[in-house]
Structure 1
Amino acid sequence: MRQGGCSFGLWKVAVDYDGQAVHRVRFVRTAPEGQVPVQFTMFLAGKGTGFSPLISSAVSGDSVYAKIYRAVSEIPYGETRSYGEIAKAVGTHPRVVGNAMARNPTPLIVPCHRVIAADGSPGGFSPDPEIKISLLQLEKNMLKRGFS
């Protein structure tokens, strides 16, 4: 397993990965030394829109959470879905989706920042909801510049 970190504003993004499988992504104040896959630095710098061929280890299996993570992974760049929409797509309750998002081991790869409340408010994001707002703004700005 390899570890590394890169910057996103005042935060660091710590990534644990093995080849193309990403096992953990965290927003922290201090990240481990080491490189991260280039897709992370490109995305966080507003120069990339995806993480292919990287995959989240959390999308494997038939658990409800794995189904939720796969559904969230299908939300297009620059778009959002509500907790209720994801719940309906996988046959569960919006609170279960919220719990899955709170426990998402690989944010960015499974773009939980794209899941918002039904009223359009951003909802939560650990460790700081401002990160979610910044990520959504980053994607909005990229689309305005003609990237997709």
Structure 2
Amino acid sequence: MTNCCYVASPVGRLALEADGEALTGVRWAGAGERARDNSNLSPVLKEARHQLERYFARKLKAFDLPLAARGTDFQKSVWKMMSEIPYGETATYGGMAMALGSGPRAVGMACGRNPIPIIVPCHRVLGSGGKEGGFSGGQGLPTKRKLLALEGVVLL
């Protein structure tokens, strides 16, 4: 059974999803989604909501949550590598691809399929030369820029 709650954020209303003991998804809530009663949340959703609120208040730089992202082994290796990019820093698709013995497009595709954005920080992955690359969440690149600016990253 999936449990869900919503969090207001500077990049839009987020829906947090958990299954059992781990967070399984963060997505931008659709306009027609009605707020649910947040009084009976699982402990992991309460903690995820709390950590996201602290992140957006610039009081949290590293998330510490149990995660259960569903994907291929390659996608999971990309998501693990993204999780290791420190707050306020960036990596490149090419650099990650080289470390994984893959290609930049494959890394970009895995970033785009990240089911737990923000917490697994795909917004910290850029194209070569500091180019933005892409972003599949929220409003796309404007959302990526907002998240990077929140962390103090200045794009060229």
TM-score bin, normalised by smaller chain: 0.7 to 0.9
Give yes or no for the alignment of 1:108 onto 2:118.
yes
Q: What number of residue pairs does the alignment pair up? A: 139
Task: After superposition, give the CA deviation of every residue in 1:28-48 in whole Å (9 maximum; x if it has no partner).
Answer: 354643364211111122221
Q: What are the equivalent positions in structure 2 for 1:1-148 lying under 5 Å apart?
A: 1-9=2-10, 11-18=12-19, 21-30=22-31, 32-33=35-36, 34=38, 36=45, 37=48, 38-52=50-64, 54-58=65-69, 63-126=73-136, 127-128=138-139, 129-140=141-152
Distance in structure 2 (CA, Å) of the matches to 1:105 and 1:91? 23
Moved more, 14-23 or 124-133: 14-23
Partner residue, 1:146: none
Separation (CA, whole Å) in 2 of partners of 1:81 and 1:10: 22
**Between structures 1 and 2, the one with greater strand share:** 1
In structure 1, runs of 5+ residues without a counterpart are: 142-148
- RMSD value, Cα: 2.2
1:54-87 CA distances to partner (integer Å, 9 max, x unpaired)? 1331288x71111111111110111000001111
Question: For residue 21 of structure 1, what is the amino acid of its counterpart?
Answer: A
Native 8 Å contact 2:91 2:126 kept in 1: yes
CA distance 1:41–1:18, change in 2 (3 Å): farther
TM-score by length of 1: 0.83
- 1:8-44 Cα distance to aligned partner (Å, 9 max, x none): 2261111102465210111235464336421111112
Q: Look at both structures and tell me which one has the larger radius of gyration over its CA atoms.
A: 2
2:13·2:29 contact (CA, 8 Å) conserved in 1? yes
| Matching residue's letter, 2:83 | S
On the 8 A contact 1:113/1:132 being kept in 2, the answer is yes
AA matched with 2:67: S
8 Å CA contact 1:71, 1:90 repeated in 2: no
